[in-house]
Amino acid sequence: MYFNRLSQIAESQVQAERSVRRFDVSYKNIETIAGVLDILVIVFASVFGGGLYQYIWFGEIASADVNLAVGVANSLLYVYVAGSRGLYRLPVLLEPSRYLARIFVTWAIVGLFVTSFLFFLKGETEFSHGAMITSAILQIILLLLARWIAEKTSRSMMATGSLAGRRVVTIGEPEELLRLSTAVLFRYFGLNEAARVSLAVNQGPTSNDVLVDLDRALHEAREYGVEEFVVALRWSSKELLDTVRARLRASPLPVRLLPDHTIRSVLGRRALSTRGPGLTVELQRAPLTPVERGFKRALDIVVSSTAILLLAPLLVATAVVIKLDSPGPAIFRQRRNGFNTKPFIILKFRTMTVQEDGPNITQARRGDHRVTRVGQFLRRSSMDELPQLFNVLWGDMSLVGPRPHALAHDNEYKALIAKYAFRHHVKPGITGWAQVNGLRGETGRLEQMIERVKLDLWYVNHWSFSLDVNILLRTCFEVVRHRAY
């Protein structure tokens, strides 16, 4: 089978770690670069070819405005059509000789379309047939040269490890994984495998062994900081697929199902080369798109950095007062679970005489004797949360999101409340939808925590930039009401 031959040829080119690496280009960007190269080639051929014809036949160089306009239109249309047919995907760039017919047909169809359009415009603008023919000949020559350059460049970057795909954890049945080498995953799907988990399906699709393997996949995804899960199962294994989907919902990462061996064999190599990721099935989407995460992160950085600069004197003065009021550090540190259940150290002004961070932690209550005199004021005014602006600036937290709980409480509630782990699908926040809806402070009864989780999940599923701004404004009014203690 061709996948085995491919593995032998390309395995050495796509190892995850390289000893020499000067710069990285993403798998997707190499396609964009190849498209831009073709645009430059076609525009150059149109302008230079038209000018060359005019100079040879008429001994003069005519204005390049018309040829430039035609070249730009022709190049953009060609790149769009070629891209839609998958002719800029990495497998095609690596073996252009196999796809020369498709490239030539695409170029010819686009050229005929542009020529026909120019024919209808001939009454208003004069086009030289000789210049068009010269430009066309130069175009196809340079396009083939550009493909040769793209092939050499792509192979060189793969050999040096400078071409990077999306980091993933691969989960699958043993026999499916045997047919999917790291080379196949990278070349056809643009995936860099950080870890591979083979499911022990001998005891059944819902056995404890399978669940343990899936938990290991979740752990390795957090450990290696991957971008998504990919699943390699027979598409007929419905019960096992349902088990995998249900278990991976604990992670915010997207999950994609790869075409199984049967489907890949039916489609063949050419379909995989030009369609690639389009053949996968999306089982789970990330809660926020990259653009949405960018807007949210920008808001966090701007607001947190501005607030730290403006509040610096207040932060210093508060720390001094805490030190004078009671023995102990001014800053309280405690482990919390962040995005994708990744632990981080949260910062708060110390408000109590104890600094619990173990398997058993008692929540603060009204009239709690452990709260210091200064701590009472800090908790009522929520000033004890101000050091978390640094957590936001560092990227561990967001201004708005589900409030992070101590690890001991996370372990307790995730066993009692369905979908509790979904709170970790976004970064934890200094304030959140639950807090502005009255659920601040102690959650002594399970019903209170269930209601808080419901509001947190509503926020995760309905996030918008305007919602974050709305919550920040409402938080100002909530703080004034002194609901905390």
Domain boundary among 233, 254, 284: 284
Number of domains in the chain: 3
CA 358 and chain centroid, separation = 33
pLDDT band at 5 (very low <50, low <70, confident <90, very high): very low
pLDDT at residue 17 greater than cutoff 60: no
Long-range (24+ apart) CB contacts under 8 A made by 449-457 are 449/413, 449/417, 450/417, 452/403, 453/413, 453/417, 453/419, 453/420, 453/423, 456/402, 456/403, 456/423, 456/432, 457/419, 457/422, 457/423
Q: Tokens standing for 392? A: 């936001």
342 and 402 fall within a common domain: yes
Domain boundary among 264, 284, 304: 284
Assigned domain for 4 exists: no
Assigned domain for 12 exists: no
- Is 396 or 22 the better-scoring residue by pLDDT? 396
230 and 323 fall within a common domain: no
Angstrom distance (rounded) from CA 365 to CA 180 = 55
Angstrom distance (rounded) from CA 335 to CA 330 = 17
The domain of 296 spans 290-480
128 and 170 fall within a common domain: no
From its phi and psi, is residue 162 left (phi > 0), alpha (psi between -120 and 50) or beta?
alpha
Whether the model clears a pTM of 0.85, i.e. scores above it, the answer is no
Q: How many helices (H) and strands (E) does the chain have?
A: 18, 11
The predicted structure's pLDDT at residue 3: 43
Contacts of 212 (CB under 8 A, 6+ apart): 200
pLDDT tens-digit readout, 144-179: 999 999 999 989 888 888 888 889 999 999 999 998
122 and 171 fall within a common domain: no
Assigned domain for 400 exists: yes
pLDDT tens-digit readout, 346-363: 999 998 877 666 556 666
Tokens 């957590």, residue located = 391
348 and 466 fall within a common domain: yes
Domain boundary among 103, 127, 160: 160
81 and 176 fall within a common domain: no
143 and 170 fall within a common domain: no
Angstrom distance (rounded) from CA 434 to CA 30 = 44
306 and 444 fall within a common domain: yes
Contacts of 278 (CB under 8 A, 6+ apart): none
Candidates 131, 142, 154, 151; CA nearest to 107 is 142
